Amino acid sequence: MSKDIWRRIAEKVDEHDFMAGIRRDHLRISATAEVFTPTDLVIEILRYLDPEVLAPGKTVLDPACGDGQFLVAAKWFKVLHFGMNEEAALRDIYGVDIMRDNVDLCRRRLGGGTVLMGNSLRPSERLPLQTEAEHAQMLALFGEGNESERRKRKPRLHKVGAAHRSAGDATVVASLF
Ligand SMILES: C[S@@+](CC[C@H](N)C(=O)[O-])C[C@H]1O[C@@H](n2cnc3c(N)ncnc32)[C@H](O)[C@@H]1O
């Protein structure tokens, strides 16, 4: 794959200054682990993936999406490598974050996609600033029921925790959580 595509994707990600737009003091950062992945590392990780896992129709989920470092790169990979239009690429993009402002910023950066406020570790939890629609979508994405019931069922989406992980044949979980 041409170096030029990766350079152009990095430029798109860097249209937003790293960790910018939200004031995060050290208390907040230690509570939420909001230290985002620098663009060069995002590109390095994505370069290791088989490009087909980002092909048209392949869902990309970052369950701890922050301000969207991975999701913005994944969107532009779909556009620049596979020739998808932005609207179609965004239909494949999903993000979840527990912080309202990250969710809103990520959505703005992407220009769409399904970006929800939610707790990926306890998807059925109703968060104070979460909308009804977001809560319903969290249940639809991760499944309903309490944690112990959910653990007994085969998860629809893999648990968070690795640099990237394939879940079934259609979902890529891309997150440093
Ligand atoms: C280390 S940052 C990673 C952000 C992004 N994936 C990246 O690599 O730049 C972790 C993110 O997870 C969010 N977070 C923490 N606990 C969470 C939870 N239980 N559910 C969803 N998001 C969570 C934080 O708000 C933060 O934005």
Average pLDDT, the chain: 85
Q: Is the CB of 170 within 6 Å of ligand 1?
A: no
Pick one of 1.10.8, 3.30.1380, 1.10.3470, 3.40.50 as the CATH number of 3-152. Answer: 3.40.50
How would residue 147 be classed by pLDDT, with cut points 50, 70 and 90?
low
How do residues 1-22 score in pLDDT, each as one tens digit? 778 999 999 999 999 989 888 8
CA 86–ligand 1 middle distance (angstroms): 24
118 has a pLDDT exceeding 90? yes
Q: Is the CB of 177 within 6 Å of ligand 1?
A: yes
Contacts 24+ apart (CB under 8 A), 38-41: 38/69, 39/10, 39/13, 39/14, 39/69, 39/73, 40/10
Distance (Å, rounded) from C-alpha 18 to C-alpha 6? 18
Give the pLDDT score at 33: 84
132 has a pLDDT exceeding 90? yes
Sorted by where each begins, the domain ranges of the chain are: 3-152
